[in-house]
Amino acid sequence: MNGRVAVITGASRGIGAAVARAFSERGASVGLLSRAGDDLGLDNALGVACDVRDRASVFEAVGRVVERFGSLDTVVANAGVGAYGPFLEMDADDVEAMIDINLKGTLYTAAATLPHLVEAGGGDFVSLASVAGLRAFPGEAVYNASKFGQLGFTRALDHEMREHGVRCTNVAPGGVATEFALGHGRPEEALAGMMTAEDVAEVVMFVLTRPRNHRILETAFRPMTETSWG
């Protein structure tokens, strides 16, 4: 990872922070985009306050990262929110947030970053998705909708960006024991047996360090305690 420059959204906590630390430990320069704008105290990191629901904010934040480090070749679109419960009982604000952050936020991140990856001669765009983008689950209808969209968008990008040397990958974990997993509507005990954010970061690193002559379109994984149904 030495010499690489990465942008990570939702980087102030959870999976985003774990991925940021993994990049930093391996010698990459990192732009950490989050509403908090936290740099996590990492070496060679720039924290930028950014709300991925705001397209202009994403473009401005990415521009600051490129200005600081001179280029960009790796992106992890990680920002996301979750809310759970029967669809007809969902709060309207939660519905809007999941579509705006999980789906539209990924689109805005891609629009702001992919031209820089093309200019760099190739790179990697990783969409931190979910098994909820592969299988439908009761009580997760809107979250499913946002993640199915995220998965489909990134798979389409793979077709469009391959000729530019840019690999586009969906990383789709099951349950991860973070505040995100609780979201709105889940009890604390739901975290039992889930994976850690560091587990997911290791998979992201695996994807990014594969030889450039092949690409991983999608990788899904779950904790051993999680039922694989749906």
Residues 169 and 217: their CA atoms lie apart, in Å, by 5
Residues 10 and 196: their CA atoms lie apart, in Å, by 16
Closest CA to 22 of 220, 199, 169, 175: 199
Six token digits for residue 42: 């990492």
Active-site residue flag, 143: yes
Catalytic residue, from 84, 125, 143, 148: name it: 143
HSE-CB for 142 with a 13 A CA cutoff: 24
DSSP conformation class of 70: S
Gyration radius from the chain CA atoms: 16
HSE-CB for 119 with a 13 A CA cutoff: 9
DSSP conformation class of 195: B
Query: Could you tell me where the DSSP H helices lie in the chain?
Result: 14-25, 55-69, 92-97, 105-119, 141-161, 179-182, 197-208
DSSP conformation class of 2: T
Active site residues: 143
